[in-house]
Structure 1
């Protein structure tokens, strides 16, 4: 049987301690596809850090691994081209040296490509916790370049039919490395007969993007090369105009705004601005601006007029766009979790973003004094009509992201001459079908919301309101039946856990909802229990450890009381004796860390218990002054007592655990 897939990996001095490169190599050697059906080609750019020897050692014991020793060029383009030239596979996959494939990736992608008879197969890509890409909303055997937003996937990590690349003579041009990838991909996009998308399986975890600032002249030359490819493989008209608008937006205006502009030195700003302004005058006419979102139209006006100072000021004034997501209710409708949300975009000052009203038209106002857009460019009436919220879930462990259905409406309110816009909706999460018609895998899934508001967009985690009661009722859902519970982080951010690993873990996940009461010289610590099995659950104990002082430990039995399935959670109640004076077997003043012991194993609960003057209170993350030991008189006293510094270090470690980091400047 011939080689089905060749994987080409350009390599350039990753270093002996590069964990990402090691993970890349392991992922290639551990594929579920039989080793005689795929080959791995490492094209080494004359690495001098021991990488060549390491790769040769792998190739010596792996018949399907080859190492090409090339002359140094400093760019991955030649390595990719040479790898393509010697590849034997029916399909070729292009991987970066810090990318990582899932074990089933080659097998799944090859099968999908053959079934679709695809020239290009795009397997699902993920990079950290970046928001989802619309191209992966579902599997497609016939994807469209513009409708399915393939231009948002410009990197080379795709499966290409080798005969297609050879027939079209598609190779990586020797231009700026990032743009070389885009030039290769766009030529393939524009000449392929069939492009397919495999969305329901993560195939590749992308490594971190390069932070190296581009050489201005080389970067502009690379964009010109891409536009020449567009001209060669498209006819004048709407498609070509939209392709040009994409590179104007992503290739020019992205670099001339936001952190890209603000983090550059003044000489770098001037150089890249000069090159891209000249390119704009040469290749990007004003007619393209109608395809841009309004805040980028403002940048385009300043670029064409040569106003670098005002462009920097506009970028600075636009920092801090955020979204406020108010979670109004969480409840179960049989097997589906229902989340009622209200979502609104906020400006840098924290106030709602509004639009100027003039009759039935709405206009955006740039956040820069003395700068006004012409009315046709500032008009966002149609964009506001398309405003919407999107809700998606993200697997904490694997990065898989799925959109979930939302039904709602966009609301408006006029105050004087300004119009405020927000969205309300009801998101429905069915764990049996949320993974593109298939059940969600077990694990914890974060809930995120993204708002498109007509001028800009932003995203955030869905969080409960401070002081509001948080629902944590679990139900048995899906087929087969699995326990599913809504749970809350220390910052009150909502997740959904599918099939917790144990009874104890289900309680830990919702433990930020703990409460305390005092009665007859005792503290009753009450924890919600999402689901109490018919057996009542295993025996449990509460373990409290004092953070400072003598480090005393108190262990008391905990009673589990059932709730109403699907409506009210059960509860775990532990009675702890209280005294103001120190002593064994009872709570005294100080800070205590709680743990749940079930079947001899302990799990840390997601809060702390503070005793002050015989009164107990729950300390959750984010409370003002929580665990501020160093600033307190007690902290100053501890630092001068024997063992006090050790106690302070423990307290500070707990503070880092339970308190969010301060926001960056």
Structure 2
């Protein structure tokens, strides 16, 4: 029995992208005999088809179909639906990957709940907080959620019951360059589905965003963007009619109006040519009028509502001014305490909103209300409701995340926050927050342990009005460890001064903890390590050692011992000679090595002049692809321009 058919449209698929996708399918916990993979090649002019056919020769569950070029993934997906034999169909893009337990977990969750669609937990390479609002818990039935539409994110990276798709004739709109074909598809799913299940506890899909992917070519000043956006809006109205569909319909309409229509008037808008700006303005005005979107503005934050009202008032000049003066200001978090207690990490942080130039949100006091500071002409033109930021301040949310640097999956952390509103003598208002959260390495992955020997970076996602930013948690608090139930976990400020955890991080702990003194006890070198630590016991580790006169580093077995808040590194069989040890070389200001020499019965610890042998942690996973120098410089300029670096 075929449980799942994985349908993959391909076109000029890169060798690396295909290898990544196939590798993830080969690692599935679901036996290969229980799922099939259908590649439908859309007339690739390169060797993609040949590579796929060669793959099929060695994989009995792989089928390859070739079609003439259609210009978009829609037709290949439809062909895949027709060929599929599985109870459920899972769509993948040709350079993404599934997490190892994805097919088994999503299929069993779907069958258990008789789901027409399963929205599995998704990660996106470029965003730690991607989809976190949707993936808050396992939900057997998500239809009726008032906080978010059950199919958000509205991409096809989900699992659909094949009989359901066929019963209702649900297919992708075919044609060359059909923008948002996945939204059209999922709107149909929304209309007919009786059960949509959300799977959060098991990672499902990694959207590997790369330069040149379909969504990255959606140019906001292009004609096709504004040709297809009204069709999306009309589809939502046509396919979700009546009072019974009001909730889903208005959720999706507000998403299109706020994010895609009003959302184009950001800081990048003013960098476009006058002709492009005018075109975008006129197109947005037409959609606003044709779909009577003013009825939704009461649900918008102040920044979006101001833009919407200026658009309706035909004031492009003021709208351009607002794109500069009312640009989104990012939220930043800095740790004030990082402490292990009973094997659980307790973190407190301050959260502030400011860009790289020190600009803070412009807020002013007006009686019992807080208003957006705006130019006089704008303030006189828009409604009082549009300038009222009181609800935006009350609606500030701060959430904690822990994110794998290897797999890019992120997990929400239990967090308490407190928003502070300070009235200043000049009548302005300053907003900040404190946030406290905990990380239990044994249960932080939705009740499961965090993967060991993996870097997990701490992030704080701050949402305030028009600003929604997730940033690594800044920290300069020295490294510390906990040893609980025989497992040692490390937290430290990484080389970018952001907080990172490594569960099972005893090898890296040797390089992040600074030695304070040395002694020779029964032939073993004992180094006292700085900091306050948690738990008790010993774990095996490795330390780099240069014997006297040696130029080559060698690894030696060692032990980390934790007791009474202190940590010791024990290196057996060192002897009485002088040696250099690689300990604490990755701590801030640490030398490449420490010299331990004998002084009668004592051991003297001194900073060595020996340079560090490398600049990477022993346990560091393979890094993600990095931009070329030219691209890196361009990205850096853009990020600095908008206060993001």
Structure 2 stretches of 5 or more lacking a match?
519-526, 572-577, 594-605, 612-635
Residue 371 (structure 1) aligns with: 378
The C-alpha deviation readout for 1:121-174, integer Å capped at 9, x for no partner, is 011111115132211121111113543443531101110011111112111124
Q: Is the 8 A contact 1:120 1:192 kept in 2?
A: yes
Q: Is the 8 A contact 1:322 1:458 kept in 2?
A: yes
Q: Is the 8 A contact 1:7 1:39 kept in 2?
A: yes
SS at match of 1:441: coil
TM-score by length of 2: 0.79
Residue 506 (structure 1) aligns with: 509
Residue 220 of structure 1: CA displacement? 2.9
Residue 493 (structure 2) aligns with: 488
Asked if 1:42 is matched to 2:51, the reply is no
The 1:177–1:619 alpha-carbon spacing in structure 2 relative to 1, beyond 3 Å, is farther
Using CA pairs under 8 Å that are at least 6 residues apart, name the structure with larger relative contact order, 1 or 2.
2
Q: Is the 8 A contact 2:356 2:640 kept in 1?
A: no
SS at match of 1:436: coil
Q: Is the 8 A contact 1:321 1:348 kept in 2?
A: no
The 1:270–1:41 alpha-carbon spacing in structure 2 relative to 1, beyond 3 Å, is farther
The C-alpha deviation readout for 1:380-435, integer Å capped at 9, x for no partner, is 21221222321111112111211111124222211132222222232122223222
* Aligned residue runs from structure 1 range 565-584, under 5 A: 565=564, 567-570=565-568
* Aligned residue runs from structure 1 range 17-416, under 5 A: 18-132=15-129, 133-144=132-143, 145-150=145-150, 152-174=152-174, 176-208=177-209, 209=213, 210-214=215-219, 216-232=222-238, 233-235=240-242, 237=246, 239-259=248-268, 261=269, 264-319=272-327, 321-347=329-355, 349-366=357-374, 370-372=377-379, 373-416=382-425
Q: Is the 8 A contact 1:450 1:459 kept in 2?
A: yes
Q: 1:472 aligns with which of 479, 486, 490?
A: 479
Residue 467 (structure 2) aligns with: 456
Q: Is the 8 A contact 1:322 1:347 kept in 2?
A: yes
- Output the CA distance in 2 between the equivalents of 1:64 and 1:536: 44
The 1:117–1:313 alpha-carbon spacing in structure 2 relative to 1, beyond 3 Å, is same
The 1:544–1:310 alpha-carbon spacing in structure 2 relative to 1, beyond 3 Å, is farther
The 1:173–1:53 alpha-carbon spacing in structure 2 relative to 1, beyond 3 Å, is same
Q: Is the 8 A contact 1:514 1:527 kept in 2?
A: yes
Aligned length: 575
Residue 418 (structure 1) aligns with: 428
The 1:540–1:174 alpha-carbon spacing in structure 2 relative to 1, beyond 3 Å, is closer
- Output the CA distance in 2 between the equivalents of 1:103 and 1:537: 29
SS at match of 2:455: strand
TM-score by length of 1: 0.76
Residue 319 of structure 1: CA displacement? 4.9
- Output the CA distance in 2 between the equivalents of 1:556 and 1:496: 23
Q: 2:439 aligns with which of 399, 421, 429?
A: 429
Q: Is the 8 A contact 1:484 1:497 kept in 2?
A: yes
Residue 457 (structure 2) aligns with: 446
The C-alpha deviation readout for 1:516-571, integer Å capped at 9, x for no partner, is 99xxxxxxx9854768975697795655999xxxx988999999996644x34447
Structure 1 stretches of 5 or more lacking a match?
518-524, 574-584, 587-593, 621-660
Residue 351 of structure 1: CA displacement? 4.4
Q: Is the 8 A contact 1:124 1:198 kept in 2?
A: yes
The 1:560–1:239 alpha-carbon spacing in structure 2 relative to 1, beyond 3 Å, is closer
The 1:239–1:83 alpha-carbon spacing in structure 2 relative to 1, beyond 3 Å, is closer
Residue 239 of structure 1: CA displacement? 4.9
Residue 194 of structure 1: CA displacement? 0.6
* Aligned residue runs from structure 1 range 569-648, under 5 A: 569-570=567-568, 596=582, 609=591
Residue 26 of structure 1: CA displacement? 3.3
SS at match of 1:433: coil
- Output the CA distance in 2 between the equivalents of 1:66 and 1:617: 60
Residue 609 of structure 1: CA displacement? 3.7
Residue 115 of structure 1: CA displacement? 0.9
- Output the CA distance in 2 between the equivalents of 1:317 and 1:617: 53
Residue 572 of structure 1: CA displacement? 8.7
The 1:559–1:264 alpha-carbon spacing in structure 2 relative to 1, beyond 3 Å, is same
The 1:664–1:353 alpha-carbon spacing in structure 2 relative to 1, beyond 3 Å, is closer
Residue 521 (structure 2) aligns with: none
Q: CA RMSD in A?
A: 3.9
- Output the CA distance in 2 between the equivalents of 1:455 and 1:179: 24
SS at match of 1:135: coil
The 1:279–1:535 alpha-carbon spacing in structure 2 relative to 1, beyond 3 Å, is closer
The C-alpha deviation readout for 1:329-375, integer Å capped at 9, x for no partner, is 12233232111222121246324435211111111224x67533431
